[in-house]
Structure 1
Amino acid sequence: MEIERKFLTKEVPFSLADFPARKISQCYISMSPTIRLRQWDDRYILTVKGKGLLAKEEFELEITKEEYDHLLTKAESPAVEKVRYLVPLEDGLTAEVDVYEGKLTGLMTTEVEFPTLEEAEAYEPPYWFGKDVSFDHRYKNTSLSLHGIPEERE
């Protein structure tokens, strides 16, 4: 079960270069059900996600580059390119700050995964996280891949 909240981040009050990062490329071979292909470094991951916004079932399977390349030919969406910075938070949580590239340049989001739904709902984010977009379908990566950055950004 994946339980996470997502925020529209304008800027961070520190240098992201001080934190571990990975360049991620991902696309979708199905939107319903959600089947994602993701690559970073020499890792290739096939993910199947259930329905939901704050909490959803998720299954990940590491695949070979050859399997990835074959499945990539079936993509229904353009790739989402981003650099993900891993910023440690209190209580053992991690902020995943995504700085998007390509057609999504200018967009930055922060996600935090939680062990329980209760912890996710009770979480008080730092001010710099920005607007909570956990329930805004336009900021799901599936939507971003197809429609780009939503026009209404506060």
Structure 2
Amino acid sequence: MAMEIERKFLLAEQPETLIQEGKIKVRHTQSIWQTYLAIDETQELRVRKLKNEATGAVSYTHTFKNGNGLQREEIEYEITEDIYEQVVEAFGFVPLTKSRITADWEGRTVEIDVYDQIHLSVLEVEFDTLQEANAFEAPSWFGEDISTQKQYSNKTVWKKLQGKKWVD
């Protein structure tokens, strides 16, 4: 199982401003539709539809994550469009939709998620080790560190979108 080590920040500035000011250089942009199939306190199972906005290419993934906070186990693999559609239709949930900007910042890759259904922009930085993540000093424009704040997790935001459809 691969380990995902990342820190998340509540981005206060609009990504367009960061691009114009030259703080980040965009590599590519994706549209993401994300639906959870099962969630508990430490584990999640989800499917995603990802569309590359430059090429129009669409892919689909199935992901299992285990853990909370900076470091989590993650298994992700591609699935077919048919499997994705069958799963989404069977569950009938509202997908969480967002635009993801993958960009370069001072020799490091950052991802900015701009959510469609709520007013929220999050910047993520991935690391090779937990020590590197803990030692990282973010510039002030990254915003508040929300890495361990559950109310900003994708699964928490997604659950709120479901209303009465989702029962804990």
The interval holding the TM-score normalised by the smaller chain is 0.7 to 0.9
Gaps of at least 5 residues in structure 1 are 149-154
2:38 is matched with which residue: 30, 39, 58? Answer: 30
Cα 1:75/1:134, change in 2 over 3 Å = farther
Instruction: Quote the Cα distance in structure 2 between the aligned partners of 1:29 and 1:61.
Output: 15
1:111 to 120, 124, 138: 124
How many equivalent pairs are there?
145
Query: Which residue number corresponds to residue 72 of structure 2?
Result: 56
Cα deviation digits, residues 55-74 of structure 1 (max 9, x gap): 01000010000011111134
Specify the SS of the correspondent of 2:124. Answer: strand
Change (3 A) 1:58 1:51: same
Larger strand share, 1 or 2: 2
Are 1:96 and 1:110, in contact at CA under 8 Å, matched by a contact in 2? yes
Distance 1:77 1:139 in 2: 19
Paired-residue identity, %: 37
Change (3 A) 1:76 1:129: farther
Q: Aligned to 1:15, which of 19, 28, 41?
A: 19
Aligned 1:2-151 pairs, distance under 5 A: 2-12=4-14, 13-15=17-19, 19=26, 20-32=28-40, 33-41=43-51, 42-75=58-91, 77-90=93-106, 92-101=107-116, 103-104=117-118, 106-147=119-160
RMSD across aligned positions (CA): 1.9
- Indicate the SS of the match to 2:94: coil
Distance in 1, matches of 2:76 and 2:129, equals 19
Gaps of 5+ in 2: 52-57, 162-168
Q: TM-score, normalised by structure 2?
A: 0.79
Runs of 4+ in 1 over 3 A off after TM superposition: 74-77
Q: CA 1:95–1:61 in structure 2 vs 1: closer, same or farther (change >3 Å)?
A: same
SS in 2 for 1:44: strand
Query: Cα 1:77–1:55, aligned 2, differ >3 Å: closer, same or farther?
Result: farther
- SS, match of residue 7 in structure 2: strand
* Alpha-carbon distance in 2 for matches of 1:76, 1:56: 27
